[in-house]
Homo-oligomer: A and B are copies of this chain.
Amino acid sequence: MAENKPDIKRELLNKDAPIGVFDSGVGGLTVVREIMRQIPNERIIYFGDTARVPYGSKSRETVTRFSGQIVRFLNTFQVKTIVVACNTASAYALDVLEKESDIPMIGVVKPGARVAAEVTKNGRIGLIATEATVGSRIYPKYIQELKKNVTIYQKACPLFVPLVEEGLLEDPVTDEIARRYLTELIDIDIDTLILGCTHYPLIRSTLRKIMGEGVTLVNPAYETARELKELLAGYDLLCEEPPALGGNRYQFYVSDKAEKFVSFANSIIKYGILSAKSIHIDAY
């Protein structure tokens, strides 16, 4: 975070370098979309771990090990910062990764927690996320550091990711599963719901329908991009001008199924992604 600048090696940082972004798969593209909107002059290297997706049902040790390999891969591009665009990896691995990193890093959990703490009026906040993120209890920890007298009600929603991956974004089955997951949160009268997994903004309309208009839905992607901009500005690393033509402005890497990724990515980002490259991430 910009307010606690880590002990980074400034001489390694270069304003023209790209930003590294990673996720377990395609969900992190909802964060990339926001970064492209808010700081459009930046170059981005994205990595999606499609060979080992999902992360949300896996252990801290495994998610941390996988994330470490990805950070090593992104560092081969001399990125100026890394965005952990996955709630599970932010929850389990960011602390460890930051300690080992020479460059500033940012996850999606702190920004999401910050917005939720700001917007709640009745102090009752819901969090929907993967089993891993819920189990880590990191959202309650951060929110309660920011604001007293707040209660966080957590609910793991393990079927949302496969339903989104299957494209059932507006479907009676997704409605039914969402109703089961969310009923207890409605019953306890939350006024704020954090979408604590980067896939969930893609079923926002279903969640909105079930939660009703009275509940604020918090998508950490928007706030993450805003804090990223602040972070870069704080280190004087924001690009003022678009990169030269002909440079690869946005590059996408995956660990499997590059073509399927490209097709999904183009449904999320309107930029026109032509290709993604497949690499062996476990070699890093």
B-binding residues in A (CB < 8 A): 50-52, 57-59, 61-62, 65, 158-159, 162-163, 165-166, 172-173, 176-177, 255-257, 280, 282
Q: How far is the CB of A234 from chain B (nearest CB, A)?
A: 37
Interface of A is mostly: loop
User: Could you tell me the distance between the alpha carbons of A280 and B158 in the complex, rounded to whole angstroms?
Assistant: 25
Task: Name which of A59, A163, A177, A280 has the most chain B CB atoms within 10 A of its CB.
Answer: A59
Chain B residues positioned under 8 Å from A58 (CB to CB): 50-51, 256-257
From the candidates B62, B65, B162, B257, name the one contacting A158 in the complex (CB within 8 A).
B162
A159 to B162 Cα, complex, angstroms: 7
**Bound form: Cα–Cα A163–B162 in Å:** 9
A162 to B57, CA, bound (A): 11
Some 9 contacts from A to B, beta carbons below 8 A apart, are A59-B256, A62-B256, A158-B166, A159-B162, A159-B163, A159-B166, A173-B173, A173-B176, A282-B282
Known contacts A162-B162, A173-B177; A255/B51 CB under 8 A = no
A30 CB, nearest partner CB in chain B, Å: 20
Q: Min CB distance, A111 to chain B, in Å?
A: 28
Return the 6 tightest CB-CB contacts between A and B, nearest first: A162-B162, A282-B282, A62-B256, A51-B62, A52-B52, A59-B256
* Closest Cβ–Cβ distance, residue A103 to chain B (whole Å): 25
Residues of B within 8 A of A173 (CB): 173, 176-177
A257-B59 CB under 8 A given contacts A158-B162, A158-B166, A166-B159: yes
Contacts of A166 in B (CB 8 A): 158-159
**CA gap between A166 and B131 in the complex, in Å:** 11
- A282 and B51 alpha carbons, distance in the complex (Å): 12
When distances are taken between beta carbons in the complex, the residues of chain B under 8 Å from A172 are 176
The residues of B that contact A62 with a CB separation of less than 8 Å are 51, 255-257
CB-CB under 8 A from A52, the residues of chain B are 51-52
> In the complex, what distance in Å separates the CA atom of A65 from the CA atom of B256?
11
Q: Which of A50, A58, A163, A257 has the most CB of B within 10 A?
A: A58
Residues of B within 8 A of A59 (CB): 256-257
B residues near A256, Cβ cutoff 8 Å: 58-59, 61-62
Interface hub of A61, A65, A256, A257 (most chain B Cβ within 10 A): A256
